[in-house]
Chain A
Amino acid sequence: MSQATRTQTGLDALAAMFARTRAEGRAAFLPYYPVGYPTVEASLEAIQAMAAVGVDGFEIGIPFSDPLADGPTIQAATQVALRNGVTVRRCLEAVRELRARGVHQPMLLMGYLNPVLAYGPDAFARDARAAGADGLIIPDLPPEEADLLAAACAREGLALIFFLAPTSTDARIRLVAERTRGFIYVVSVTGVTGARAALPPGLGDFLARVRAQTDCPRVVGFGISGPEQARAMSGLAEGFIVGSALVRAGGQGVGTVRDLAAQIKAAIGRK
């Protein structure tokens, strides 16, 4: 198990992560997991367990009442989290708690814009950093609407991740590459989150099209569900995100999440 301690934060922590995975000749594995599913404590344990098997970083989900980029699995899990009383503040506390429990990997907070606006962009960036988060991912925030939050994140040295999708034009690729801080989140399919049986056929071409425009790390998300697809990612991109499949496993217990994360980790090579 990796015994690395947390010597860098924010954008630097992400850069260090990619430097290490690049040196190891593999893609970074970033699980998504929401705070509060199936309970707050169980979600913290799931994240801790995945940290212990040596995943490279995390997206920590903040639940929202209207998650319009999410498929049924994450919708259902985050609605449970809301019923469990999870708020933005509670998610920030969760990050602090995970750091206290020894989770050293980069953690990016992932949530929809309105709760962040309600909290206040400046306060959110400040408190996220203070809690030990390294950046933000907001699926309903394209770069041209992000000035406020981008400034707040820059002040705190936090990553702010923008997306590309198979529908993106070359001009969009250039814009996102210019504005994103940390990596580019490459949505593998036109669609919402959810585990899928196979990687979409055009993904390699799309990733190459992105690479032709930018050197920024590309992290693929949406639909990656198991070891097979994860193995394929190592030749294709600098990282990948697994969400729905791990969340579904989380519904069955911490052990199930740990096992799936360990299998995926094993599929992409050495620690």
Chain B
Amino acid sequence: MMTAQPPVMTSALPDARGYFGEFGGRFVPETLVPALDELIAAFESARHDPAFQRRFADLQATYTGRPTPLTYAARLSDYLGGARIYLKREDLAHTGAHKINNALGQALLAERMGKRRIVAETGAGQHGVATATVCALLGMECHVYMGSVDMARQRPNVFRMKLLGAEVIPVESGSRTLKDAINEAIRDWVTNVTTTHYLLGSALGPHPYPLIVREFQSVIGVEARAQILAQAGRLPDACIACVGGGSNSIGLFHAFRDDEDVDLIGVEAGGRGIATGEHAARFADSARGRPGVLHGTRSFVLQDADGQITDTHSISAGLDYASVGPEHAYLRQIERAFYTVATDDEALAAFQLLSQLEGIIPALESAHAIAEAIKRAPTMPRDAILLINLSGRGDKDLDTVISALGGES
């Protein structure tokens, strides 16, 4: 068993300039530099402030509903006939996804900085809902930018945000998805920076966001690691999570970073297949996925030969993004984590299988992680363990799934 703590490998990163190796940094218009400095200062002081930590922990327990359970997926494991599959149930967190962990933490930071106007972007709508929720909780003003394509495919979440008192602003530029929503949110932030906090929803963007989001999401892995030790008596052979911007995955991986025998596997959106070009697989598409700078950070970016950002496709709005958090680019480079893809069809099949065998309807994003487990478990012995992050629930996706399945199922 793992007893001695091996030397800390990644938690010393990012460095003071926000770099994970050659990835990360802070590529923003000058107007935003002081706001990022202020955010770093607020985060560092909050981190060492027991009162802040107590308040955060208390809300996590009494409002978010943490710890979320770890569920042994007995029927799915039997059906696949290989490794035993455990599900970390972020779908059971308040608002139905892991996004609330980060939204709550950042909203408390905004309060600490005296900023009561919040802007956010959202793809699947889960981050927007989580942000609208914490703004309602703390009495803050909330504006959420969302691509009009995503508004159409995540209608229930648009309604939820409005019900929670947020303004939802449709974004009509570019591909009208997550990337364009981030552009608009940043433009709003640049304009209103003295009164406004940008509550970025994933482990991407300029330093310190990748650090802050990881720290607020790392509760997933901290809980899951203790739970699997308690329930299975040992660490898993692999942790698997879907990777959009990379927050639920980094949140799971971080606690296992020094457990060298635990494989860390991220699953990108394979869309209609890598060969079709219609996907959001920054790592898997070696032609278009290259290091570059988008939204303030240097990471892998889907781009054409001229450095223009290319359109992406995924059946899941939350994975439909042209870049990926810089720490993932680093973990992949040092071969601590490995990245694979699941296609739309594989995610849809996983969505149905988990619903039928476990009575759990996963978010389409999370279904990508399940799809990898479906491929991998049968190749593993029965005493092997896979720990899957079930990052969210699938209610928001019913429209999409109904039309994708053409009324079957």
Q: Is the CB of B28 within 8 A of A66?
A: no
- Do the beta carbons of B190 and A69 come within 8 Å of each other? yes
Least CB distance from A224 to B in Å reads 17
Verify if B381 is at the interface (C-beta below 8 Å from A): no
- Interface status of A169 (Cβ within 8 A of chain B): yes
- Residue of B186, B194, B292 near A167 (CB, 8 A) is B194
With A71-B187, A192-B191 in contact, is A145–B305 under 8 Å at CB? no
Set of chain B residues within 8 Å of A114, measured between Cβ atoms: 292-294, 301, 303, 307-309
Assess the B30–A163 pair: CB atoms within 8 A. yes
Assuming A115-B306, A119-B307, is B173 touching A75 (CB within 8 A)?
yes
Partner of A176 from B30, B305, B308 at Cβ < 8 Å: B30
Task: Assess whether A145 is in contact with B25, with CB atoms less than 8 Å apart.
Answer: yes
Instruction: State in angstroms the CA–CA spacing of A115 and B303 once bound together.
Output: 9
Residues of chain A in range 186-223 having any CB-CB distance to chain B below 8 Å: 187, 190-192
Q: Which has the most chain A C-beta neighbours within 10 Å: B31, B292, B295, B309?
A: B31
**Cα-based distance from A119 to B305 in the complex (angstroms):** 8
Q: A140-B27, A142-B30, A145-B27 are in contact. Are A68 and B308 (CB under 8 A)?
A: no
Residues of B contacting A192 in the complex (Cβ-Cβ under 8 angstroms) = 187, 190-191
**Residue among A69, A114, A115, A187 having the largest count of chain B Cβ atoms under 10 Å:** A114
- Which A residues are in CB contact (< 8 Å) with B309? 65-66, 114
Complex CA distance for A215 and B34, rounded to whole angstroms: 23
Are A167 and B307 in contact, with the CB atoms below 8 A?
A: no
Sorting the interface of chain B by its residue count into under 10, 10 to 19, 20 to 34 or 35 or more gives: 35 or more
Of the listed residues A163, A176, A192, the one surrounded by the most CB atoms of chain B closer than 10 A to its CB is A192
User: Scoring B residues 1 to 35 as 1 if CB is less than 8 Å from chain A, else 0, what string do you get?
Assistant: 00000000000000001000000011111111111
> Within 8 Å CB of B254, what residues of A?
none
- Kindly supply a per-residue 1/0 record for chain A positions 70-95, scoring 1 wherever the CB is within 8 Å of any chain B CB and 0 otherwise: 01000100010010000111000000
Given A113-B293, A192-B190: A142 touches B27 (CB 8 Å cut-off): yes
- Are B26 and A88 within 8 A (Cβ)? no
> How far apart sit A164 and B29, CA to CA, in the bound complex (Å)?
9
Restricting to B280-337, which residues have a CB under 8 Å from any CB of A? 290, 292-296, 301, 303, 305-309
A142 touches B193 (CB 8 A): no
Chain A 132-149, CB within 8 Å of chain B: the 1/0 string? 000000011110110000
Assembly CA distance A113 to B290 (angstroms): 14
A87: which B residues are within 8 A, CB to CB? 306
Chain B residue numbers with a CB within 8 Å of A71 are 187
A172 vs B127: C-alpha distance when bound (angstroms): 33
A142/B294 contact (C-beta < 8 A), A66-B183, A66-B309 known: no
Indicate if B174 sits at the interface (CB-CB under 8 A): yes
Is A267 positioned at the interface, with any CB of B under 8 Å from its CB? no
Contact residue among B29, B180, B308 (Cβ-Cβ distance under 8 Å from A165) = B29
Instruction: Flag whether B179 is at the interface (Cβ < 8 A).
Output: yes
Residues of B within 8 A of A88 (CB): 306-307
Q: A252 at the A/B interface (Cβ < 8 Å)? A: no
Of listed A68, A75, A87, residue having the most chain B CB within 10 A:
A68
A166 contacts across to B, CB distance below 8 A: 31
* A116 interface residue per 8 A CB criterion: yes
User: How far is it, in angstroms, between the C-alpha of A163 and the C-alpha of B309 when the chains are bound?
Assistant: 24
Q: Which residues in window 156-193 of B have CB below 8 A to A?
A: 173-174, 179-180, 183, 186-187, 190-193
A82 to B293, CA, bound (A): 19
Task: Please state if A66 and B174 are interface contacts (CB–CB under 8 Å).
Answer: yes
Contact with A along B251-290 (1 / 0, CB 8 A): 0000000000000000000000000000000000000001
> What is the CA–CA distance of A195 and B174 in the complex, to the nearest angstrom?
22
**B190 near A191 (CB under 8 angstroms)?**
yes
| A68 CB contact (under 8 Å) in B187, B292, B306 | B187
- Taking CB atoms, residues of chain B closer than 8 Å to A176 are 30
Minimal beta-carbon separation of B105 from chain A (angstroms): 24
**How many angstroms from the CA of A89 to the CA of B17 in the assembled complex?**
32
Partner of B17, one of A69, A113, A141, A144: A144
Q: A187 to B292, Cβ gap below 8 A? A: no
- The answer to whether A64 has its CB under 8 Å from any CB of chain B is yes
Do residues B303 and A68 form an inter-chain contact, with CB atoms below 8 A? Answer: no
Contact status of A118 and B307, CB under 8 A, knowing A140-B27, A144-B26 = yes
Contacts of A165 in B (CB 8 A): 29-31
Q: Are A142 and B28 in contact (CB under 8 A)?
A: yes
Q: A114-B301, A172-B33 are in contact. Are A65 and B17 (CB under 8 A)?
A: no
Question: Which 5 pairs from chain A and chain B are nearest by CB?
Answer: A118-B307, A115-B307, A165-B31, A163-B30, A191-B191
Could you list 25 examples of A-B contacts with CB < 8 Å? Answer: A66-B295, A66-B309, A68-B29, A68-B295, A71-B187, A82-B308, A87-B306, A113-B27, A114-B293, A114-B301, A114-B303, A114-B309, A115-B306, A118-B307, A140-B27, A140-B29, A145-B26, A165-B31, A167-B33, A167-B193, A190-B31, A190-B191, A190-B192, A190-B193, A191-B31
Known: A118-B306, A167-B32. 7 other contacts (CB 8 A): A64-B308, A87-B306, A115-B306, A119-B306, A162-B30, A167-B35, A192-B187
